[in-house]
A and B are shown apart, each in its own frame.
Chain A
Amino acid sequence: MEALDRLDRTAPDLSGFARDEGAPLLKVSGVSKSFANVVVLKNVNFTLRSGEVLMLVGENGAGKSTLKNILSGLQAPSGGMLEVKGHLCDRLTPDQVSAFGIGTIHQELSLFANLSVAENIFMPNLPERRGRVDWKAMRAVAAKLLRETLGSDIDPGAQVGSLSLGERQLVEIAKAVHRASSLLILDEPTTCLSIPERQRLFDIVRRLRKAGYGIVYITHFLEEVYTLADHIAVLRDGELVAAGTPRDLPADALMRAMVGREIAASVYEPAALSDAASPILHVRGIGDNEQVHDITFDLRPGEILGIAGLMGAGRSELAEMIVGLRPAGGEVTLNGKRLERRSVKHAAAEGLVLVSEDRRRDQAFLSRPVRENVTAPSLKRLVGGTLRLIQSGRESEIAAGIVRKYGVQPARPEIPMVNLSGGNQQKAIIGRWLAESPKVCILDEPTKGVDVGARASIHELILELARNGTSFILISSDLPELLDLSHRVMVLHKGRASGFVERTRFNPDDIIKLASTGKARSGTAPAQEIA
């Protein structure tokens, strides 16, 4: 365990920092962060000692990733102090991060697809001999690290670009373990791992803890929390709302803290569907045989179909295929009419719209007024006169209507979009599409990155529209959201539908199982590799 036994390597030269012997490994005092005028972290305090695992949990948008970026030297906090091994500083630089021996497993893998596995693990400090890279030593160490620590026989000479997603995740782990000598930060490290690989990762975390490492483990999977935690800290809307040992924070209390309300009994209940209504949307054998395979389902008027799955399961791709943003085989029939040669424009004309995941980047015109943002798809209906100009009076009227109806705050259509909070931008973009009164609306992660209040109002909006007959396909990584809103959940695993679960049989464990293994729950966990 070479990589694990390097605690006693030479102390970094950090003279010039105030130093306090016997201090905790990491102390975060009053750290806050805001971007422009949006506050993402508010006065966060916690302490981590050597040999402890701190589980940092919270929903999407709670500020976990920002905190990770601050701890790994990628962002400077706007306020507060950090103390690492007794060295007090107001921000960490990448050099300090490497001197302190802080390793980070990034959720969006910080790898170089064009380089070999070994180079990825060592970058930027490749071993050198007589002025050239010591390939032999590097590959040997990398192979040993991969084999002994992660139990993987990935060829260290292979190009990372040729590896599967699961293998890449292992390389990312190896890279962080190689760099870390005191503190390891893991950001949602298991999203692409199979169950045996997860177990292996948990073993590594336990071994590192025993070796005296401090570990900050970011996740939103509850079962991981209780497998590993010494301490738990819950972030919600940028604030640390609860902290304690696993005993102080049992699962229900933790959920409550994360979501900010009771989760056990859903406050929502989608309207009952009439059995008589015939399906409005038929999807038959959609797929490209790469990322999505042969998906078939029906959707009834007013039905909310949830789609669950891990990252990389093909959820967004499926949505893009249905509306024609991505080429695929199979058939889509809407309202009895088969959509030939699908395209976004065509689909929208038939009443099928997709509100994609990265609305801010893909769909918002940030520097333009809210008015233009919400009326963008309806301009055709707004032109008049011989010159076919936009009738600005009617446009303002419609914009004001959308802003009011979808609760966009502040309710002023003329201010630039960029001045709205993330949640309100979200509402404006969703409003833009729903104002087209679509028959079927595909929402991809509609509440990602929005605050609790906005989340609730988006949920109410969806339910109300569904009651009035609009059908929804709801893609979400937020399982409570799916379980709250959906009539039915389709679970995707590696691009295939691994199961449909009816509302009466909703159970988070079953769905997680289907999503991560592709198999329904049974006595034994199948050793399924996620390639």
Chain B
Amino acid sequence: MKRLARLRQENAQQLSLIAVVILICLAFSALSDRFLTYDNLLNISLQASATIIAAIGMTMVIATRGIDLSIGSVANCSVAIAVTLAALGSGSSLTLEASWLAYPTALVLGLLLGAFNALVIIVFRVHPLIVTLGTLALYRGIGLHVTDAASIAVSGDVLTLARGALLGAGYPVWLALAIAFAGWFTLSHTVFGRRLLALGGSPRSAVESGLKRARILAAAYIISSLCGAIAGLVIVGRVGIIDTTLGFNFEFTVITAVVLGGTSLFGGRASIVGSVIGAILLSAIDNGLNLIGANPFIYEVVRGLVLMSAISLDAYASRKATDQLSADLS
């Protein structure tokens, strides 16, 4: 009985999120008859996949009470460098044909950039918000430097990832689902995942229990950057262009998706499923606004409002929880 109540409480948030998704889909399908078509739904899932991938890493970081603002810059920087390095000596500097080597290169770069974030956070004990705010600018700057801030048309094997399809759905959708599954499994069923949640839940108890804070944090930030690099590969594969908008404001979308999904900014409570639904919700909103021909500036207003309401709800829920806790403990 107790257990049933617990399950219900945990799922309530996700169920209400799914309800919101359905409501928004119904609203858009009433406004545009192209919204609720098979092709458009596939399109939404394709659009959501980069956000989902990055949101998995972000979920882990946020679960430790951290944040990774550099995710969009990691996507930009790692992909820009990887494509440049894997270019098959082609003609003009504004078109590059990149081989499959861009994939492993981008992953290695993602790992390095994440390791640098982790290093500063752990060794110098700087708040992750500040560290990744710095690397947001730093990594973006490196990316711009590599591409000379130009728009580079990309071709070659590096696009395969985003352009193939399997059983009707694009590769990125399958990749996003695979990464989401791996993320869910890690957080719910591996010792590492449970330690990560423990650290986020109570840093003091973590120290007293002998948890290795540095290792857990390093892993979380590296995973986040790896996810960022993969998301960057997906984005570049879909648009075929590397330019300054690649990964720009991406952290905003990703963090909104994660917080919408019920992962608490105050640590210790994380939901991969929620992050996936959150990312889909954001894509559906973007897609729907596009279909009904809304003013592009409205997008930002809507996203801003969505983030504000998600964060307010999180803060409210956390305060309720801590009130209860301090009521019990004081």
- Using CB atoms and an 8 Å cutoff, list the residues of chain A in contact with chain B: 72-74, 94-95, 97-98, 104, 106, 108-115, 119, 123-126, 128, 131-133, 155, 157-159, 161-162, 164-165, 168, 175, 290-291, 312, 316-317
Cα(A186)–Cα(B203), bound, Å: 21
29 example contacts (A-B, Cβ-Cβ < 8 A) are as follows A94-B207, A95-B210, A97-B210, A108-B204, A110-B205, A110-B208, A112-B197, A112-B198, A112-B201, A113-B201, A114-B202, A114-B268, A114-B269, A119-B194, A124-B191, A124-B198, A126-B191, A128-B191, A131-B190, A132-B189, A133-B190, A133-B194, A158-B2, A161-B321, A291-B327, A312-B328, A312-B329, A312-B330, A317-B330
- For residue B301, CB closer than 8 A to chain A, the reply is no
Nearest-CB residue, chain A, relative to B216: A124
What residues of chain B have their CB less than 8 Å away from a CB belonging to chain A?
A: 2-3, 6, 185, 189-191, 194-195, 197-198, 200-202, 204-212, 268-269, 321, 324-325, 327-330
Interfacial chain A residues near B197, Cβ < 8 Å? 112, 114-115
Query: Is there contact, CB below 8 Å, between B2 and A113?
Result: no
CA distance A73 to B197 in the complex (A): 23
Pairs of residues from A and B, 6 with the lowest C-beta to C-beta distance, nearest first:
A110-B208, A114-B201, A114-B268, A94-B210, A110-B205, A132-B189
Who on chain B is nearest to A127 by CB? Answer: B191
Q: How many pairs of residues, A versus B, come closer than 8 Å at their CB atoms?
A: 96
Report whether A74 and B207 are in contact in the complex, using a CB–CB cutoff of 8 Å. yes
Tell whether, in the assembled complex, residue B194 and residue A165 are in contact, meaning their CB atoms are under 8 Å apart: no
Docked CA distance A98–B210 (Å): 8
Query: Would you call A112 and B268 a contact (CB within 8 A)?
Result: yes
Residue from A112, A133, A159, A312 in contact with B189 in the complex, judged by beta carbons closer than 8 Å: A133
B329: contacting residue among A74, A115, A133, A165, CB under 8 A: A165
Which of A126, A157, A317 is within 8 Å of B194, CB to CB? Answer: A126
Q: How far is it, in angstroms, between the C-alpha of A108 and the C-alpha of B329 when the chains are bound?
A: 8
Contact (Cβ within 8 A) A123 B211: yes
Residue in B closest to A106 when the chains form the complex, CB atoms: B208
The answer to whether A115 and B198 touch across the interface, beta carbons within 8 angstroms, is yes
Q: How far is the CB of B322 from chain A (nearest CB, A)?
A: 9
The 8 Å CB contact of A104, one of B2, B204, B208, is: B208
Which residue in chain A gives the minimum CB-CB distance to B321?
A: A161
Smallest beta-carbon distance A312→chain B, Å: 7
- The answer, among A94, A97, A290, for a CB contact under 8 Å with B327, is A290
Majority DSSP secondary structure for residues of A touching B:
loop
| A133 neighbours in B (Cβ, 8 Å) | 189-191, 194
A111 surroundings in chain B (CB, below 8 A): 202, 205
Q: Are B211 and A158 in contact (CB under 8 A)?
A: no
**Contact in complex: A109, B329 (CB < 8 Å):** yes
Give the residues in chain A near B268, CB-CB below 8 Å. Answer: 112-114
- Chain B residues, CB < 8 A from A124: 191, 195, 198, 209-212
A128 to B202 CA separation, bound complex (whole angstroms)? 22
* Closest Cβ–Cβ distance, residue B191 to chain A (whole Å): 5
Q: How far is the CA of A47 from the CA of B307 in the complex (A)?
A: 59
Known interface pairs A115-B197, A290-B327; A123-B209 also in contact (CB < 8 Å): yes
Task: Contacts A104-B208, A114-B268 given; indicate if A158 touches B6 (C-beta within 8 A).
Answer: yes
Q: Which residues of chain B have C-beta atoms less than 8 A from A157's C-beta?
A: 3
In angstroms, Cα B204 to Cα A278, docked, is 49
- Assuming the contacts A111-B202, A132-B189, A133-B191, asked whether A159 and B328 have C-beta atoms less than 8 A apart, the reply is no
The residue that A113 contacts in the complex, of B195, B207, B325, with Cβ under 8 A, is B325
Asked if B325 and A110 sit within 8 Å, CB to CB, the answer is no
Cα A237 to Cα B198 in complex, Å, equals 35
In the bound complex, how far is the Cα of B324 from the Cα of A161, in angstroms?
9
Cβ–Cβ < 8 Å partners of B206 in chain A: 112
Knowing A110-B204, A110-B208, A123-B194 are in contact, say whether A161-B327 is a contact too (CB < 8 A): no
4 more A-B residue pairs beyond the given contacts A109-B329, A112-B206, with a C-beta to C-beta distance below 8 A: A110-B209, A112-B197, A158-B6, A175-B209
Distance of A479 from chain B, by nearest CB (Å): 20
A173 CB, min distance to chain B CBs, angstroms: 14
Chain A residues in 8 Å Cβ range of B329: 108-109, 165, 312
Q: Min CB distance, A106 to chain B, in Å?
A: 6
Of all chain B residues, which has the CB nearest A119? B194
In the complex, which residues of chain B have a beta carbon less than 8 angstroms from the beta carbon of A106? 208
Residue of A nearest to B201 (CB): A114
| Complex Cα gap A74–B205 (Å) | 11
* A133–B189 alpha-carbon span in the complex (Å): 5
Q: How far is the CA of A354 from the CA of B211 in the complex (A)?
A: 39
A112 touches B205 (CB 8 A): yes
Cβ contacts under 8 Å, B325 to chain A: 113, 161
In angstroms, Cα B116 to Cα A87, docked, is: 38
Contact call B3/A155, Cβ cutoff below 8 A: yes
How far, in Å, is A10 (CB) from chain B's closest CB? 18
Query: Which B residues lie within 8 Å of A119 (CB)?
Result: 194, 198
Most chain A Cβ neighbours within 10 Å, of B3, B198, B207 = B198
A314's nearest neighbour on chain B, judged by CB, is B330
Chain A residues, Cβ within 8 Å of B205: 109-112
